[in-house]
């Protein structure tokens, strides 16, 4: 048997030598091979651990991304339509437009988009004193009816739709029928509100440019009313660019 002598000399400050370490070639090769196998096994386990952790990270990212995508979005009401635009926007529900009566001084101002499938808490069917909700109607003057819509819609009842877009921001721009660069148009139409001389307050909403009417809702019951809005210049700085007597447009945009 061939022996290889490995001398390891370590000198202390005193200059003393250490005893030589004697190993056989077989022992040396065996230990070296065992060390290599141990390192390779450890590397393999480390690679498996990294792979498992990456899988967990990917699953968590998928959950977080899915959760965020469900949370991001905006909701708006499309007045005069029973469905939402086909641009990635979903219809949450189609409803009936309602609100306070135009002649009531203590009326609430806003328009409501009531669900067509009501559910109730406790109730008493006897009429009470308090807030009242009436159905809504289009109330346009004679010259406006066919000029703007090509058909007769006055005294008909408007529908509405509550819409959800994945885009997080929604704005209504009064006075324009176009969105800003980089924004998506949801719909455009006419800026509408109640009559200026009625007792009840109202709000400005964007009525769709091609409004629908609820079937069978042609009776003249008034209630919450839709009128066009017109510019009045007077001594204000609106004109120009606005024009006295001209009906205002509007657009609903998302981004």
Specify whether 107 is located in the same domain as 77: yes
Specify whether 159 is located in the same domain as 58: no
What pLDDT is stored for residue 33 in this prediction? Answer: 77
Specify whether 200 is located in the same domain as 111: yes
Residue 197 lies in a domain: yes
Residue 123 lies in a domain: no
What pLDDT is stored for residue 49 in this prediction? Answer: 83
Specify whether 82 is located in the same domain as 62: no
What pLDDT is stored for residue 2 in this prediction? Answer: 40
pTM tops 0.75, yes or no: no
Integer CA distances (angstroms), 70 to 31, 66, 75, 229, in order: 58, 6, 13, 37
Could you write out the DSSP letters of every residue in 102-141? Answer: TT-TT---S-EEEESS---SS---S--SS---EEEEE---
Question: Cα(115)–Cα(178) distance, rounded to whole angstroms?
Answer: 30
Specify whether 166 is located in the same domain as 151: yes
What pLDDT is stored for residue 37 in this prediction? Answer: 79
Specify whether 184 is located in the same domain as 244: yes
Angle, CA of 123, 125 and 131, to the nearest 5°: 75
Specify whether 111 is located in the same domain as 196: yes
| Cβ-contact 215, 135 below 8 angstroms | no
Q: How far apart are the first and last CA of the chain?
A: 84
| Selection from 147, 170, 134, 157 nearest residue 211 by Cα | 157
What pLDDT is stored for residue 252 in this prediction? Answer: 98
Specify whether 96 is located in the same domain as 33: no
Which residues form the domain of 226? Answer: 73-116+132-232+240-254
Tokens representing 108 are: 């609430």
What pLDDT is stored for residue 9 in this prediction? Answer: 39
What pLDDT is stored for residue 23 in this prediction? Answer: 59
Q: pLDDT means per 10 residues in the chain (255 residues)?
A: 39 48 68 79 82 83 65 90 95 96 92 95 89 92 74 90 96 96 96 93 95 78 90 85 94 97
Residue 217 lies in a domain: yes
Looking at the 3D structure of the chain, how many domains does it have? 2
Which residue bears the tokens 């346009």?
140
| Residue 15: HSE in the Cβ half-sphere, 13 Å Cα cutoff | 0
What pLDDT is stored for residue 130 in this prediction? Answer: 87
Specify whether 90 is located in the same domain as 156: yes
Tokens representing 237 are: 């700085």
Specify whether 51 is located in the same domain as 160: no
Residue 138 lies in a domain: yes
């Amino acid at each position: 048997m061939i022996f290889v002598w490995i001398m390891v000399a370590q000198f202390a400050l005193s200059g003393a030598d250490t005893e030589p370490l004697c190993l056989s070639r077989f022992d040396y090769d065996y230990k070296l091979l065992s060390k290599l196998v141990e390192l390779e096994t450890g590397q393999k386990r480390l690679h498996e651990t990294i792979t498992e952790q990456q899988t967990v990270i990917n699953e968590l990212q998928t959950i977080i991304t899915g959760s965020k995508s469900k949370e991001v979005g905006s909701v708006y009401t499309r007045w005069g339509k029973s469905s939402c635009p086909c641009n990635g926007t979903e219809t949450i529900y189609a409803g009936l437009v309602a609100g306070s009566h135009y002649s009531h001084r203590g009326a609430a101002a806003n328009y409501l988009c009531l669900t067509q499938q009501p559910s109730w808490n406790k109730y008493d069917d006897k009429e009470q004193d308090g807030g009242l909700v009436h159905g809504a109607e289009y109330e346009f003057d004679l010259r406006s009816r066919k000029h703007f819509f090509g058909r007769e819609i006055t005294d008909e009842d408007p529908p509405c739709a509550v819409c959800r877009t994945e885009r997080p921001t929604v704005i209504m721009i009064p006075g324009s029928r176009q969105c800003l660069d980089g924004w998506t148009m949801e719909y455009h139409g006419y800026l509408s509100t109640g009559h200026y001389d009625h007792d009840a307050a109202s709000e400005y909403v964007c009525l769709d440019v091609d409004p629908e009417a609820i079937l069978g809702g042609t009776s003249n019951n008034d209630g919450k009313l839709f009128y066009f809005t017109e510019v009045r210049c007077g001594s204000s700085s609106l004109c120009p660019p606005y024009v006295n007597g001209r009906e205002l447009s509007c657009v609903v945009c998302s981004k």
